[in-house]
Structure 1
Amino acid sequence: MPRVDTVRVGLRVEGTVQGVGFRPFVHATASRLALSGLVANDPAGVLIEVEGPADAVARFRELLESQAPPLAVIERITTRPLPPAGEADPRFVIAASHRAAGAADHTQRTPIAPDIATCADCLRELRDPADRRHRYPFINCTNCGPRYTITRDLPYDRARTTMAGFPMCADCSAEYEDPTDRRFHAQPLCCPACGPTLRLVDASGTPVPGEPVAAAAGLLRAGRILAVKGLGGYHLAVDAGCESAAAALRARKHRADKPFAVFVPDLETAERLCELDDEARELLTGPQCPIVLAARRPPPHEAPTIAASVAPGCRELGLLLPYTPLHHLLAAELAGPAVLTSGNLADEPLAFRDDDAFARLGTLADAFLTHDRPIHRRADDSVIRVHSGRTVPVRRARGCAPAPLTLPVPAARPVLACGAELKSTFCLARGRHAVLSPHLGDLENYETLAAYTDGIADFARLYALDPALIAHDLHPEYLSTKYAHDRADATDARLVGVQHHHAHLAACLTEHQARGPVIGVAFDGLGWGIDGTLWGGEFLLADLCGFRRAGHLVPVPLPGGAAAVREPWRMAAVHLDATGSDGLAVRRRHGARWDHVRALAAAGVNSPLTSSAGRLFDAVAAVLSLRDTVRYEGQAAIELERCADPAVRDGYPVRIDCPAGGEDACRVHGADLVRAAADDVRAGTPPGTVAARFHNGVARLIADVCGRLRETTGLTTVALSGGVFQNGFLLDRTVPALERAGFRVLTHRQVPCNDGGISLGQAAVAAARDDAGDLE
């Protein structure tokens, strides 16, 4: 018979609690308190039954949250009383996972943990000649290693990962079953006797003699291009100090100017190359281990040589530290920086399956450092910019995705949000969870579209989600919009169109768990407006359900449509034409084409109107002779930011017309900024001063318009979103100006302010509109 004070309680734990050492933690905690019972995974999270004295059970419940593993994210714990089982089995055990348990009463599936960088304990073993895993490229434990990229299905158990094909040896099995071992129930557990193996082959698949890592490092030192299989796909690598190798990689990859990431062996080398603050150091060495964009150290300084073709003309470098055992081994052999960039041709998705990698990268790489552990899902490297202590996500992928985000308004019905065209992501939402896919790329070719549609199908299956609402951008020609319509036509799902800039701001609100209303400033390249023009310099009074356009840059023609995006000098022509100003050197460079573009714009031929802030930056970059044509998105604006002198504090004035009463939208004459820049260039003003005055003028016009809108609305919170706000110089001037004016300012810290965050915003809007009854 059970003791009088004995109780038994069932607990369900929801959140990111699989693949993070949660069951071993529960086992250790219960055992330490001399409690009996069990813990098991199921598709919705973790199930626990615990029995013992009432005070010990209460203490156990407290410790679940206060001492949970650092990578666990507990969202909710629910409890229910159970009849005591008595002394029949006094142990606490880890039970077999229940695939169907909870399915009837829990539609929310547990999130998959992102892949986690190699922990310090595993690194010590990797470097210890006496350890049985010395120099083993796949060492891992409960606290680190692959998760998302190897998971085939839920619940997260070895049999449902790509490690299923590697039966554990006796030594690994003993560790796996030992509650005192840090590899207790570590699903990717393996060793040289039973786990994956590494090999180095040439582009034809012929083995290269020698120990694979050492031989691979030798090839890099010899100026060769190496394909390296990582956690979520293949990288292409060269010696970062070898100009001929970097230039060859750039030519083979068809990547003209966009900088490569620089792979460094340790934080010390990173510090020698770039100026790092505490936040950058923490990101570089933390469990996510993203690429961190940081300012180069100015000369003179002693640092490893970085070839000019690695990051041409850049004041920043994208630094990446080793995050897998293989990376650590390769870095130790190289003892210096290397390029480590996505394994693909420009604009194609990342190669992650071996056969596809050899087919697509065989003409790019001279050799392949690969292995036989399958990657189930691709995940490119995350990219985060750290500027003046401010974190700006640029690409959310490996290490960050698919960790769920929390919606301010729960999705009562399942939502699929299809995202935009550039920097494509999709988002699935149900209840409080919004699962944002890793970065996929631009939906401009068949390969990326196939990756996008396959990814949606995979996530929908994995999370058992059949969308009732499909949110999409309003642009009719986006492939994501067409996918949404095709998907809705084939199902009973309801389409929910979400304006592009509203989605930007909704993503920012979601990060801050805010519903609005706010004054939203959405500055980007282009997005389809509700009036049929192309928006991009917007002041919206917005909440999650809707918005009103309260201000915008005065629209100008986009001469030649997409050609004007590729050729920023065209935007200089139309902006200067609007103010009657001369085009100076930029006009002379283009001769008769200048007048042709002006005539094209004046006639409205293939020249849709746009209020784009991004195109305004393009125009000033062309006026300064920084960039007449671009080879990747945002290149002109990036080079304009690089040019800006931070010591300059004055800015160009801008006319702002705000009609009395606040019913009509404020009109901001952005062309004034272009004319002022042209006047300064004519007067011989240094380019750094011109670029800084332009940025300062943009920051001031934002603060001015927000101040005017506060007078008519009473709103005191401003949300900043859109790709223009990746600009660190602009943020450094805008945020303080708004805060000095008494505003609370919301910026992105978890998802990109660029189009990579659009799908999250779409999901939040769809959920909020559904909750408000707008979709009945």
Structure 2
Amino acid sequence: MAAERRRLRVEIQGAVQGVGFRPYIYRLATELGLAGWVRNDPQGVFIEVEGPPHALARFLERLPHEAPPRARIHSLHVFHLDPVGYAGFEIRHSEGEGDKTVLILPDIATCPRCLSEILDPADRRYRYPFTNCTDCGPRWTIVEALPYDRPHTTMRRFRMCSDCQREYENPLDRRFHAQPNACPRCGPTLAFYAREPSADRDGEDHPDFPSQVGEYRRIARGDAALRRAAAALRAGQIVAVKGLGGFHLMVDARNEEAIARLRARKPRRDKPFALMARDLDQVRAMCETSPEIEALLAGPEAPIVLLPRRPGAPVASNVAPGNPYLGVMLPYTPLHHLLLRELDFPVVATSGNLTDEPICTDEREAFQRLARVADAFLIHNRPIARHADDSVMVWMRGEPRILRRARGFAPLPILLSRPLPTLLAVGGHLKNTIALSVGRQVFLSPHIGDLDTAEALRTFERMIGDFLRLYEAESVAIAHDLHPDYASTIWAQRAAAGDLPLPVRLPAPLPLLPIQHHHAHLAACLADHGVEGPALGVTWDGTGYGPDGTIWGGEFLWGDASGFRRVASLRPFPLPGGDAAVHEPRRVAFALLWEMVGEAAMEWEDLPPVRALRPAERQALARMMARGLNAPRTSSMGRLFDAVAAMLDLHQQVSFEGQAAMALEFLADPAERRAYPLPLVENPGGEPAWILDWRPLLEAILEDLRRGTDRDRIAARFHQALVEAIVAVARAVGEPRVALTGGCFQNRYLTEEAARRLEEEGFTVLLHRQVPPNDGGISLGQILIAAARLEGASDPFPTGGV
């Protein structure tokens, strides 16, 4: 009877599309005897259910607790309505109108059921490298518009066969509305190209796979292509493999000569290469693991995890020169699983690009850009809408910490406690990401990288266009770094003036909000924890432009998103040659010595960094510093690490960012507890109020070097000096919350020791969890600071901020 029936409207927002949520609702409602409907919407999932009150109550009780494993419910609102007499329950077509606030899921690693199918000779998807379901497979890298339906993905060109269509239309099947659903009869396929005289025997052209591209001939298609790629890897060749979010360059991880060729061609002289292992047994043979780490490796995000290398690990020494860690991941697509099962060894799986360029996503582009690198190509014809690098994590203080946020995590948002104005933040220059606020959600892009090349800038601009278009967002302002020469800053200035052709037009003129770099680091760490502040932010990195026109980097900022005060900083010193000093730690070490003893430093040839400079070079650097020409002053903690590494003769020059600091960290003896002096001295009448004076620290290092103290003990004492300096500033400021942020806190030794000591002293320590501590997280901080500024938050930190 009508009096015994009720109707509810349920509106759900979160990660609820592309995860089997509608069939789950269908099964739950029909099991409880309820009538009505469910549909996707640009804002989420909408449900109407009608039936007896007790059944409706049970429906609401079970709904959030039995949802599909990849679903994330951010909000659930229930409205009571009069019954209308629904006769059954149905899944309705998606709506396309309205604000776009639904979450686009990241790409999800192959689930156990799909893996079982591709390994089962009796299954129709046996050895099919594009198998997926609603629990796994591509999402972010194929979606082109919202809502997430097949016509809005790069899979729209593949018409499903009758068997796949039946799965797609059956609410009880796990492939119900799995948008990338396909099989060998109707879906994408593979092709293998190499510099070989023999070509594909059928000789026929394929619309997606021409018989020859440049000097590469098509050798095989389908499963034969995968087997030929495996044979090429066994033969020591470099194979460019098109995967989920772009290309990998793969080579036998045991083959030192092949890896040397890859380093020379890419080129990438020293920076570690990531590895892909067939399974956890191969990981255990190479690295120290734990059940928690293995669960992380095998989880749906399937990141690269930095793990201690086992003695005698079966990998070549030049995979990660001088590094006690290996970056390892497991296969995360059926293609990778099948390829690695053809081999009995792990492979290098590094980004398919030239150094400093973004990863290749299109095979035509890859044949051009990687022609001088790859011996062969394994490609497929499923288009990639946008790139997604592999995420990188490290296990620190008993938890996984993210160092590069990309596949598996992006573009999931950071959820805030309150809505913000719609803002675009364009990040920094290195490790760039962009961010967009929509209501309570801040969407972060996957890692874009350093904006040093035209290709990187095109990727950066395309990502901005995708974000604005997918979410149909109209930003009210653009937040950017304070540094005037960053590529992201220059882009923001041109875009705000209407001086750039964009896929999505921005209203011009658009307000620009410059954000100080280290303030953005602090705000990002607070947002990462859902804390509105204030906190003492220990913001240590290599470079950040200060409001005073100097280069900051060893900062203690007290504040929150609304403002900050620079309460302490590392004593400034010159950087002779500016950016050149970033690549030559010997210059930084010489500059510190020159600051201490002046011209006498020219003759200290017993010290490695002085000896590494020719007399004419020393004279040129001394002139720069004496005249203040091309020798900007800096408080950079990253450069202090470089200088100490040069003093210990670890690196006088570096080929990648952080190389010298990493060597110093790896050298440090964990048993050494003594700390060098790094006194906190008052700075009367100035800001900051206190200065960390590095001169006594350097004098102590020099004294230990003259005594012949072991370098590992010197490295440890340096780290312990930094730890005790952090504690000293925290005591002086008296703020109970301390945030450790900035690229220096990728250093496990420094971070764990500083956190331990702070907690011993009674402080609450905030470490990054959802975004990296490095510049990959500052776009989040830019959003929070820009919103506070637009909302007119009063600044409780009147002597700081921009």
TM-score grouping bracket, smaller chain normalisation: over 0.9
C-alpha displacement of 1:598: 3.0
The equivalent of 1:654 in structure 2 is 678
- Aligned residue identity for 2:493: H
- Aligned residue identity for 1:111: L
The equivalent of 1:183 in structure 2 is 175
Higher mean alpha-carbon deviation, 109-118 vs 381-390, is at 381-390
Matched residue of 1:452: which SS? helix
Alignment equivalent of 1:193, drawn from 185, 189, 192: 185
Alignment equivalent of 1:382, drawn from 388, 391, 396: 391
C-alpha displacement of 1:487: 1.8
Q: What does the per-residue CA deviation read over 1:324-357, in whole Å, with 9 as the maximum and x for residues that have no partner?
A: 0000001100121100000000000110012111
Matched residue of 2:538: which SS? strand
C-alpha displacement of 1:7: 1.1
- Aligned residue identity for 1:651: A
- Aligned residue identity for 2:260: A
Matched residue of 1:456: which SS? helix
Whole-angstrom CA distance in 2 between matches of 1:138 and 1:164: 15
Residue correspondence of structure 1 range 671-710 to structure 2 within 5 A: 671-710=695-734
C-alpha displacement of 1:157: 0.7
Matched residue of 1:4: which SS? helix
* Contact 1:157 1:187 (8 Å CA) reproduced: yes
C-alpha displacement of 1:661: 10
Alignment equivalent of 2:746, drawn from 717, 722, 726: 726
The equivalent of 1:547 in structure 2 is 564
Compared with structure 1, are the counterparts of its residues 248 and 163 closer, same or farther at alpha carbon in structure 2 (3 Å cutoff)? same
Structure 1: tracts of 5 or more residues without a match: none
The equivalent of 1:476 in structure 2 is 484
Residue correspondence of structure 1 range 204-353 to structure 2 within 5 A: 204=213, 205-209=216-220, 211-297=224-310, 299=311, 301=312, 303-304=313-314, 306-353=315-362
C-alpha displacement of 1:409: 4.7
C-alpha displacement of 1:576: 2.0
Whole-angstrom CA distance in 2 between matches of 1:744 and 1:531: 31
C-alpha displacement of 1:739: 0.5
| 1:419 is the counterpart of 2:427 | yes
Alignment equivalent of 1:450, drawn from 458, 461, 474: 458
The equivalent of 1:612 in structure 2 is 636
* Contact 1:118 1:140 (8 Å CA) reproduced: yes
* Contact 2:100 2:146 (8 Å CA) reproduced: no
Alignment equivalent of 1:521, drawn from 538, 551, 566: 538
- Aligned residue identity for 1:508: C
Q: What does the per-residue CA deviation read over 1:486-530, in whole Å, with 9 as the maximum and x for residues that have no partner?
A: 222221422111100000011100010011111111000010001
| 1:767 is the counterpart of 2:787 | yes
Whole-angstrom CA distance in 2 between matches of 1:199 and 1:533: 53
C-alpha displacement of 1:108: 5.0
The equivalent of 1:748 in structure 2 is 768
* Contact 1:175 1:183 (8 Å CA) reproduced: yes
C-alpha displacement of 1:630: 0.9
* Contact 1:468 1:492 (8 Å CA) reproduced: no
The equivalent of 1:717 in structure 2 is 737
Whole-angstrom CA distance in 2 between matches of 1:239 and 1:28: 47
C-alpha displacement of 1:26: 1.0
* Contact 1:429 1:435 (8 Å CA) reproduced: yes
Matched residue of 2:321: which SS? coil
| 1:465 is the counterpart of 2:488 | no
| 1:587 is the counterpart of 2:587 | no
Whole-angstrom CA distance in 1 between matches of 2:128 and 2:778: 41
| 1:602 is the counterpart of 2:626 | yes
Whole-angstrom CA distance in 1 between matches of 2:287 and 2:236: 24
Whole-angstrom CA distance in 2 between matches of 1:370 and 1:35: 48
* Contact 1:158 1:187 (8 Å CA) reproduced: yes
- Aligned residue identity for 1:200: F
Q: What does the per-residue CA deviation read over 1:238-282, in whole Å, with 9 as the maximum and x for residues that have no partner?
A: 001111110111111011110100111011111121111333212
Alignment equivalent of 1:429, drawn from 431, 434, 437: 437
Matched residue of 2:614: which SS? helix
* Contact 2:9 2:49 (8 Å CA) reproduced: yes
Whole-angstrom CA distance in 1 between matches of 2:271 and 2:699: 29
| 1:498 is the counterpart of 2:528 | no
Whole-angstrom CA distance in 1 between matches of 2:341 and 2:781: 42
- Aligned residue identity for 2:226: V
The equivalent of 1:368 in structure 2 is 377
Matched residue of 1:150: which SS? coil
Matched residue of 1:431: which SS? strand
Whole-angstrom CA distance in 2 between matches of 1:11 and 1:159: 26
C-alpha displacement of 1:660: 7.7
The equivalent of 1:171 in structure 2 is 163
* Contact 1:654 1:668 (8 Å CA) reproduced: yes
C-alpha displacement of 1:112: 0.3
Identity %: 51
Alignment equivalent of 1:531, drawn from 539, 544, 548: 548
- Aligned residue identity for 1:550: V
Compared with structure 1, are the counterparts of its residues 660 and 567 closer, same or farther at alpha carbon in structure 2 (3 Å cutoff)? closer
The equivalent of 1:92 in structure 2 is 89
Whole-angstrom CA distance in 1 between matches of 2:267 and 2:684: 53
Whole-angstrom CA distance in 2 between matches of 1:121 and 1:345: 36
Residue correspondence of structure 1 range 124-163 to structure 2 within 5 A: 124-163=116-155
Q: What does the per-residue CA deviation read over 1:124-175, in whole Å, with 9 as the maximum and x for residues that have no partner?
A: 1111111111111011111000011010110011111111111111111222
Matched residue of 1:565: which SS? helix
Higher mean alpha-carbon deviation, 230-239 vs 654-663, is at 654-663
Higher mean alpha-carbon deviation, 402-411 vs 324-333, is at 402-411
C-alpha displacement of 1:717: 0.3
Q: What does the per-residue CA deviation read over 1:49-76, in whole Å, with 9 as the maximum and x for residues that have no partner?
A: 1111112112212222122222111111
Whole-angstrom CA distance in 2 between matches of 1:83 and 1:359: 63
* Contact 2:15 2:102 (8 Å CA) reproduced: yes
Matched residue of 1:227: which SS? strand
Q: What does the per-residue CA deviation read over 1:529-571, in whole Å, with 9 as the maximum and x for residues that have no partner?
A: 0111110000011111110000000111111100110101111
Q: CA RMSD in A?
A: 1.7
Matched residue of 1:334: which SS? coil
* Contact 2:740 2:751 (8 Å CA) reproduced: no
- Aligned residue identity for 1:511: D
Whole-angstrom CA distance in 2 between matches of 1:688 and 1:535: 28
**Count of equivalent residues:** 758
- Aligned residue identity for 1:681: L
Whole-angstrom CA distance in 1 between matches of 2:153 and 2:663: 44
Structure 2: tracts of 5 or more residues without a match: 196-212, 499-507, 796-802
Whole-angstrom CA distance in 2 between matches of 1:666 and 1:773: 27
C-alpha displacement of 1:662: 10
* Contact 1:393 1:752 (8 Å CA) reproduced: yes
Q: What does the per-residue CA deviation read over 1:101-122, in whole Å, with 9 as the maximum and x for residues that have no partner?
A: xx1xxx4521100000000111
C-alpha displacement of 1:771: 3.0
Whole-angstrom CA distance in 1 between matches of 2:404 and 2:722: 25
Higher mean alpha-carbon deviation, 321-330 vs 641-650, is at 641-650
Matched residue of 2:2: which SS? coil
- Aligned residue identity for 1:634: G
Whole-angstrom CA distance in 2 between matches of 1:723 and 1:663: 23
Q: What does the per-residue CA deviation read over 1:157-209, in whole Å, with 9 as the maximum and x for residues that have no partner?
A: 11111111111111112222222221122111111111111111126342224
* Contact 1:551 1:665 (8 Å CA) reproduced: yes
Q: What does the per-residue CA deviation read over 1:416-473, in whole Å, with 9 as the maximum and x for residues that have no partner?
A: 0010000011100021100000111111111101111111011100011111021111
